[in-house]
Amino acid sequence: MSNFNSPIRLSSSLIKHLKYRVRMGCNPLLPHSRSFTTTEGHRPIIVHKRSLDILHDPWFNKGTSFSFTERDRLDLRGLLPPNVMSTEQQIERFMVDLKRLEEQARDGPSDPNALAKWRILNRLHDRNETMYYKVLIANIEEYAPIVYTPTVGLVCQNYSGLFRRPRGMYFSAEDRGEMMSMVYNWPADQVDMIVVTDGSRILGLGDLGVQGIGIAIGKLDLYVAAAGINPQRVLPVMIDVGSNNEKLLKDPLYLGLQRHRLDGDEYLAVVDEFMEAVFTRWPHVIVQFEDFQSKWAFKLLQRYRNTYRMFNDDVQGTAGVAIAGLLGAVRAQGRPMIDFPKQKIVVAGAGSAGIGVLNATRKTMARMLGNNEHAFQSAGRQFWVVDAKGLITEEREDLDPEACPFARNVKEIHRQGLREGASLVEVVQQVKPDVLLGLSAVGGLFSKEVLEALRGSTSTRPAIFAMSNPTTNAECTPEEAFSIVGDNVVFASGSPFKDVDLGNGHIGHCNQGNNMYLFPGIGLGTLLSGARIISDGMLQAAAECLAAYMTDEEVLKGVIYPSISSIRDITKQVAAAVIKEAIEEDLAEGYREMDSRELRKLSQEEIKEYVQNSMWSPEYPTLVFRKE
Ligand SMILES: NC(=O)C1=CN([C@@H]2O[C@H](COP(=O)(O)OP(=O)(O)OC[C@H]3O[C@@H](n4cnc5c(N)ncnc54)[C@H](O)[C@@H]3O)[C@@H](O)[C@H]2O)C=CC1
Ligand SMILES: CC(=O)C(=O)O
Ligand SMILES: [Mg+2]
């Protein structure tokens, strides 16, 4: 029997817990109460399941954070350990586990524990989406390199072994004729964003077949973390038409179709059927094409872009990010923006990403020069394109039609001391470019000789964009760039590297030039404007917004892209710019209560507010059970 007069003995763990609650601003003597308010965004959600079904549902699961009353209401009592945790405690426990792996190795991209961290994060993603995104958003700088490049590349390479719970949908060549019904197997009635790949060119790692689903999952993680797209409304998709990767075809553990890729009309028929199916079920969905080999990337983009709400991230997202960086490089030289069309740019790589960058950059230069045919022709002469066979000229046989507009005139090139197929070193030596940009997927392509040649650049501050992913495919490292070309160089890479200590208190800044700064905002802006299609103007507005995000002071220090820690803010700004352009081009049909007429009434600031208020944040809503 307890005696009311005897002193209460508190265990040390209880004292610790009460102190913790005081620190967190809670009354230590009141039963556990979470700090969620029932605001507009956090109304109770009616659920039609109980018990284990709730715990196994990552959209509703709160794990140890279910309160006692909620446990009773949802038949959870006894199914969880008795200690009710706050979200903060949950995160703390999770982080301790995650950090334990970091004690030995903390060197980012080469982190030997990266895969183990991905596994832990992935398990959290499976059991509690809210907590997963809370962890990711709060620690985006640290964990974007795990859920995205570079580790996502390693994940895709090992996906058959890593696969546990399915995530996303798989449409295969065997599903022809079935897709229109299959699409209804997905549980969500609303899907806002699909990222689809056919696995044919995953980062710079080549054909990874069905294992490429990892890249769609990683990109959608950024859609949720950066753009605040509701995770219940994203759908990663793999279109499995086979693989031409012989190793995978022989691997007994491979999860995909073990046959060579479909090609030609058969291939197109599969992708056509997929597009028709998803747009029939979700007419307002946006489809991002990701990591399709160049051969199909351009064709599919042309085929669908005027009919469906879609874009190709590698062609169009990368182009915008490159333009923002190139404009930043001009500012970093202390020159006015109008000097951009005078920049001499050598591009290594003429695939989907390289050609996307070349086309968009040329158009941007031409606009600055008067936007006429003469301006367009003149802008074209600012580029020297080198692919696996060397410098591309009009003499090249079997030239890919996409690269044709950038083939140099032979006479002109001879005058520059160059020829068809000249090596990258020769081109850099002769052209003395302002910018050297790599989208070749060849690690180390910017060798010592190439970088030494760049020392002869006529620019006061040459720029190097080693944009290939993942880390091992980067054309050079920032250490190589700063040590060989000079402390003054502007450097960007596709995957993250650490800044370089140049001595004497000076830092060589390593920018991350990655389409992650644009695709979330392009998707969110398209969604909230209800734009019918994604126009060049909307993409251009996104690029200009990113370019303008950096201050003169930052740019002069060589910082041409924002830090990933501000990705949610930059995404908001990009989305607002995309919406504004969609309204101006009369493409915006509105979204939910915000119809096209209401949209047109919004000021610039109100558009930003609309974006901000529409972004999902990871907070637990109150759950209430009701029978279906
Ligand atoms: N940082 C970013 O945001 C992005 C980076 N990328 C990266 O760009 C790379 C290329 O992607 P895609 O264009 O789709 O690939 P792709 O395979 O279509 O094109 C690669 C191009 O590089 C050329 N190439 C190969 N060896 C070369 C050499 N020794 N010298 C010069 N050029 C050479 C090929 O001839 C081809 O034109 C990948 O590593 C990818 O991860 C792609 C999209 C966005
Ligand atoms: C970043 C990206 O989209 C790529 O490397 O393919
Ligand atoms: Mg990509």
Reduced to 3 states, what is the DSSP secondary structure of residue 435? strand
Residue 470 Cβ contacting ligand 1 at under 6 Å? no
Token code pair at residue 548: 């303008």
The whole-angstrom separation of Cα 443 and Cα 313 is 22
| Per-residue confidence band for 581, with pLDDT thresholds at 50, 70 and 90 | very high
Q: What distance lies between CA 24 and its chain's CA centroid?
A: 34
pLDDT value at residue 95? 86
The answer to whether 573 and 521 have CB atoms below 8 angstroms apart is yes
Per-residue pLDDT for 490 more than 50?
yes
pLDDT digits (tens, 9 = 90+) for 449-489: 999 999 999 999 999 999 999 999 999 999 999 999 999 99
Chain CA centroid to CA 170, Å: 21
Q: Give every CB contact of residue 255 below 8 A, 6+ residues apart in sequence.
A: 159, 160, 163, 210, 211
What digits encode the pLDDT tens for the residues 120-136? 999 999 999 999 999 99
Percent of the chain with pLDDT over 70: 92
Q: Give the DSSP letter of residue 479.
A: H
Which residues, in sequence order, are bridge partners of residue 195? 236, 288
The rounded distance, in Å, linking the Cα atoms of 609 and 515 is 24
Report the DSSP beta bridge partners of residue 408: 393
Cβ atoms within 10 Å of 372's Cβ, excluding its own: 10
Give the model confidence (pLDDT) of 9-28 as tens digits.
555 545 555 554 444 444 44
Which pLDDT score is estimated for 9? 53
- Beta carbon of 388 within 6 Å of any ligand 1 atom: yes
- State the pLDDT at residue 365: 98
Indicate which ligand has the atom closest to the C-alpha of 517.
Answer: 1
State how far the Cα of 506 lies from the Cα of 496, in Å rounded to an integer.
20
Residue identified by tokens 């199914």 is 79
Report the pLDDT value the prediction gives residue 106, as an integer from 0 to 100. 43
Q: What is the pLDDT of residue 161?
A: 79
Q: pLDDT value at position 111?
A: 72
Across 146-153, average pLDDT = 96
Nearest alpha-carbon partner for 162 in 111, 199, 126, 207: 126
| Cα 152 from Cα 287, distance rounded (Å) | 20
- Predicted pLDDT at 28: 47
Residue 449's alpha-carbon distances to 56, 383, 391, 455, 522, in angstroms, are 56, 21, 17, 10, 39
Instruction: Kindly state the percentage of the chain with pLDDT values over 90.
Output: 82
Reported as type and span, the H/E element at residue 52 is helix 51-55
Ligand 2 atom closest to residue 469's alpha carbon, by position in its atom list: 5
pLDDT digits (tens, 9 = 90+) for 167-184: 999 999 999 999 999 999
Please give the helix or strand (H or E) that residue 465 lies within, else none. strand 463-466
H or E element in which residue 552 lies: helix 552-556
Phi-psi region of 202 (alpha: psi -120 to 50; beta: other; left: phi over 0): beta
Residues in the chain: 628
Rounded Cα distance between 248 and 209, Å, is 8
Please check whether residue 604 is in contact with residue 576, taking contact to mean a CB–CB distance below 8 angstroms. yes
User: 294-304 and 264-281 helices cross at what angle (nearest 10)?
Assistant: 50
**440, 469, 522, best to mutate for ligand 1 pocket (most atoms within 8 Å of CB):** 440
Predicted local distance difference test score (pLDDT) of residue 14: 52
- What lines the ligand 2 site, CB under 6 Å? 149, 203, 291, 313-314, 469, 494, 514-515
Identify the pLDDT of residue 75: 93
DSSP states of 564-626 as a string? GGGHHHHHHHHHHHHHHHHHHTT-B-EETTEEHHHHHH--HHHHHHHHHHHS----PPPEEE-
Q: What is residue 262's DSSP assignment?
A: P
How would residue 1 be classed by pLDDT, with cut points 50, 70 and 90?
very low
Cβ neighbour number for residue 17 with a 10 Å cutoff: 17
What's the pLDDT tens digit per position in 529-573?
999 999 999 999 999 999 999 999 999 999 999 999 999 999 999
Give the Å distance between the CA of 314 and the centre of ligand 2: 6
CA distance 139 to 117: 13
Q: Assess whether the C-beta atom of 356 lies below 6 angstroms from ligand 1.
A: no
Which pLDDT score, from 0 to 100, does residue 78 have? 82
Q: Counting atoms of ligand 2 from 1, which one is nearest the CA of 219?
A: 3
Largest CA distance in the chain: 103
Residue 15: predicted pLDDT? 56
Is 134 among the catalytic positions? no
In angstroms and rounded to an integer, the radius of gyration of the C-alpha atoms of the chain is: 26
Average the pLDDT over 174-196 and give the result: 94
How would residue 61 be classed by pLDDT, with cut points 50, 70 and 90?
very high
DSSP H stretches of helix in 305-391: 318-332, 352-368, 373-380
Distance of CA 502 to the CA centre of its chain: 30
Number of helices (H), then strands (E), belonging to the chain: the values are: 27, 18
Nearest ligand to residue 356 Cα: 1
Rounded to 5°, the CA angle 409-413-416 comes to 155
H helical segments located in 371-516: 373-380, 410-415, 424-431, 448-454, 478-480
Burial 334-349 (b: 16+ CB within 10 A, else e): ebeeeebbebbbbbbb
Express each pLDDT in 233-275 by its tens digit. 999 999 999 999 999 999 888 888 999 999 999 999 999 999 9
Q: How far apart are CA 64 and CA 78, in angstroms?
A: 12
Q: Phi and psi for 186 in degrees, rounded to 5?
A: -75, 135
On whether ipTM exceeds 0.95, the answer is: yes
Ligand 1 proximity of 204 Cβ (cutoff 6 Å):
yes
* pLDDT value of position 319: 98
d(C-alpha 440, C-alpha 611), whole Å: 36
The answer to whether residues 321 and 359 touch, using CB atoms and an 8 Å cutoff, is: no
pLDDT at 33: 38
Q: Is 149 in the pocket of ligand 1 (CB under 6 A)?
A: no
| Token representation of residue 197 | 């790949």
The rounded distance, in Å, linking the Cα atoms of 567 and 199 is 26
CA 228 distance to own-chain centroid? 13
- Say which of 62, 219, 363, 608 is annotated catalytic: 219
How far, in Å, from the CA of 24 to the mean position of ligand 3? Answer: 41
The yes-or-no answer on residue 148 being catalytic is yes
**Of the ligands numbered here, which is closest to the C-alpha atom of 512?**
1
Q: Which residues contact 401 (CB under 8 A, 6 or more apart)?
A: none
DSSP letters for 202-225? -TTS---GGGGHHHHHHHHHHHHH
Burial class (CB in 10 A: 0-12, 13-18, 19+), 49: middle
- What is the Å distance from ligand 2's center to 329 Cα? 21
Mean pLDDT of 103-129: 79
Strand partners, 393: 408
Residue 19 is predicted with a pLDDT of: 56
Residues 310-362 have pLDDT tens digits of: 999 999 999 999 999 999 999 999 999 999 999 999 999 999 999 999 999 99
**CA 554 from centre of chain:** 23
In 3-state terms, what secondary structure has residue 212? helix
pLDDT of 4: 38
**Exposed, middle or buried by CB within 10 Å (0-12, 13-18, 19+), for 457?**
buried
CA gap 330, 556 in Å, rounded: 10
Catalytic residue chosen out of the listed positions 143, 148, 254, 620: 148
Query: Cα 251 to the chain's mean position, in Å?
Result: 30
CB 528 within 8 A of CB 591: yes
pLDDT band for 34, please (50, 70, 90 cuts).
very low
Within its chain, how far is the Cα of 504 from the centroid? 35
* pLDDT tens, position by position, 358-409: 999 999 999 999 999 999 999 999 999 999 999 999 999 999 999 999 999 9
Identify whether the C-beta of residue 322 lies closer than 8 Å to the C-beta of residue 539. no
Ligand 1 mean position to 354 CA, how many Å? 7
pLDDT value at residue 82? 81
